[in-house]
Amino acid sequence: MTAVPTLPAHSTEVLLRRRTPWWHLSRSGLFFAAAYVLISMSPSLLPRTWYFQGLITGLCAAAGYGVGVLLGWLSRRAARAVGLHVFVSEQAGHVLRIVGPTLVAAGVVLVTVSNVRSQARTASVVRLTPLSPLDWVLALGLAAVIAVAFLLVARGLRGLTRRLAVAVGRVLPRTIASVVAVVVVATGTAWVSDSVLFRRGMQLMAAAASQVNDETTGRPAPTSSLRSGGPGSLVGYDSLGYQGQMFVTSAPTTAQLTAATGRAATEPIRVYAGRPDDEDIAQVAGQVVAELRRTGAFDRKVLAVVTSTGTGWVDDYSVQAIEYLSDGDSAVASMQYSFLPSALAVITDRQTPREAGAALFDAVYAEWSRRPADSRPRLVVAGESLGSYGAQAAFTDVDDMMAKAQGGVFVGTPSFSPMHERLTESRVPGSPEIAPVVDDGQHVRFATRGSQLLTDYYGRPYGDWEFPRFVYAQHPSDPVVWWNPALLGSQPDWLREPRGSDVNPDVTWIPFATFWQVTTDMAVGHDPSDGFGHRYGAELVPEWAAVLGLPLDADLSRIVDGVEKTVNRVA
C-alpha cells in the first residue's frame, strides 16, 4: 500500500492524457503557427521559387506551433500556481467562437495578399518573374506536408518520453523519472539527427558533388603549352576536375583580345591544379607554383592568385577582365581544394578554404619574392564568394595585405569573413554597411556597382585613391554577403539603415524567420541577371581597371563588349 499515493496519480495523469485524441491541435500552437506562416511569406532579398517558399513556410509553421504549445503550457502552469481561473459566460463564449476565427481568417487573408504583392515587388526590383497563383498553391501544399511531418515526429518523441518515464517511474521517484526520460530521448534524438540524418545527408551530397567533379566537360585538352593540362604540363588534363577543365579552356585568344583593345596582344597564361584524394593542400599549391615556373608566368606583367569556390570554380568575368585589361600579358593561378558546393562547404568545413587560400598565395608569394624587384609582375589577389573568404585568409590584416599584394578584387564576400568584418566595423560614421567607407577610400573601396569607385554610396567624392588598391564588390541584394548565423537573434545594420536600390523597402528583420529567408535566398542567388543577387558580371571590368592602374575615366566599353562575348558563364 505504500506505493498507492504515487502510482495512481501518475497512472491517472497518463490515462487522462491518452483520452485526448491524437489529432487534437493546440489553439495557442495554431495561433503562433499561423503567425509564423505569415511571417515566412514576407519578402526578403530575392524572390523565392515555390519549393523554397514551401520549405521555409513549413519550417516556420512547425517552429511557431512549438512556440505556441510551450507558451500555452507555461501560461496554464502559471495560472494554476497562482490560483487564477478565467470564466466566460456561455453566450460570450459562443460569440468568441464565431467572431474570433472570423477576424483571424480575415487578417490572414489580408496579410497574405499583402505579402504576395510585396514578393512580386521584390521580383520586379531584381527583374525576375513573380510566383504565379499555382506556384503559391504548390508552396502552401509543400509547407503543410513539412509542418505535419515535424508535428508527427514531435508527438512520437513526446509519446516515447512518456512511456519511458512510466517505465523508469517504477523504480525511481516520478520527478526523477521524468527528467531521466527527457534526457535519454533528447540525447538519442540529437545523436540520430547528427550521426544518421545530418552526416549521412552530407555524405550523399558529397558523393553527388564528387560525381559532378569527375564528369568531363566534353572539351578537348588545351593545345597551348601556356595552359595546365596542355603540352608539357606537369599536371594531367583529367586530373583538373570539371571546373579546372572549364577554367583552362576558357581563355580568350590573342585575336579576340586585339579585336577588343585595338592593340597587339599576348596569349594569356592560365594555371590550375586539381586535388587528388592522396594529396594535401600544400602539395597542390606546390604543383601550381611549378606550373607557373614552367609557363614563364613570373615574367608577365600581371600575376593573379585566385582562390576558387568550393567546387573549384573560378569566376571567368574576373579572370577575363584581367586578361583583356593587360592585353593578355598576364598569368592567372588557381587550384581546387574541394568539390563541394560553397553553400555545403560553409556548413561543413570553413577551415579548408582558408587553408587553401593561404597555402596558394604563400607559395606563389615565396617564389615571386625571389625574383628581382624591378622585374616582378604585379601580384594581385582575387576570389568570389567562398573563394573571397579563403583568399583573405592569406593575410593577418589589411596592412599585411597591402604589404604583400599589389591589388585585388573580392567579389560577394561573406560578411562573416574576418577581414571584411573588421573593415565594416571600422567604417566612417554615416556610411552604410552595404557600402562602408574606410579611411576615405585611400586603399580599400566597397562598390555596390562597377561605376561606384569615385564616390561613396551617397555620391560624396572620395579622396585620392593610392596604390595598392583593393575593391570589395557586393550587391545589397546578394544573400551570400549578408547571410550570417547572427541573423537568428539580432537585427543587422543593413536592415536598420536605408535599403540598397536593389532591395525591396518592405524587407524587415524578423527573429528566426529572416535567417531562413536569407538562407533560402542563397540557393537562388544566381537566378537574377547580372548586377543583382550573387551575379557579378561585366561590372568587374572597371573595378579591375582601377586596381591595375588604368585611368579611372577610361572608356572600357569595347573591353566590356569583348568580355561579354567570350566569357565562360558556366558556374
How is the beta sheet containing 408-411 ordered, strand by strand?
269-273, 330-335, 302-307, 378-384, 408-411, 470-473, 444-447
Give the Cα separation of 178 and 538 in Å (integer). 63
User: Residue ranges of the domains in the chain?
Assistant: 27-80+96-211, 215-480+525-566
pTM: 0.85
Per-residue pLDDT of 165-211, as tens digits, reads 888 888 888 888 778 777 887 787 777 766 666 666 655 666 665 56
Phi, psi of 521 (to 5 degrees): -60, -35
Bond prior to 468 in cis (omega within 30° of 0) = yes
Supply the DSSP string of 448-474, one letter for each residue. SSTTTTSB-TTSPBP---PSS-EEEE-
Average pLDDT on 271-278 reads 86
In this predicted structure, the answer to whether residue 11 has a pLDDT above a threshold of 70 is no
User: How many other CB atoms are found less than 10 A from the CB of residue 133?
Assistant: 8
pLDDT mean over 420-441: 95
Report the run of H or E that residue 32 belongs to, with start and end: helix 27-40
Is the predicted pLDDT of residue 3 greater than 50, yes or no? no
Q: How far apart are CA 365 and CA 438, in angstroms?
A: 26
> How confident is the model over 525-553, as pLDDT tens digits?
989 989 999 999 999 999 999 999 998 77
Ranked by mean pLDDT, which of 52-66, 206-220, 285-299, 493-507 comes out on top?
285-299
Does residue 564 carry a pLDDT above 50?
yes
Q: Report which of residues 442 and 551 the model is more confident about.
A: 442
Task: Decide if 101 contacts 108 (C-beta within 8 A).
Answer: no
pLDDT band at residue 7 using 50, 70 and 90 as cut-offs: very low
- Residue 528 has a pLDDT of 92
Per-residue pLDDT reduced to its tens digit, 129-160 = 999 999 999 999 999 999 999 888 888 888 88
What integer pLDDT is reported at residue 9 of this predicted model? 43
> What pLDDT score was predicted for residue 5?
45
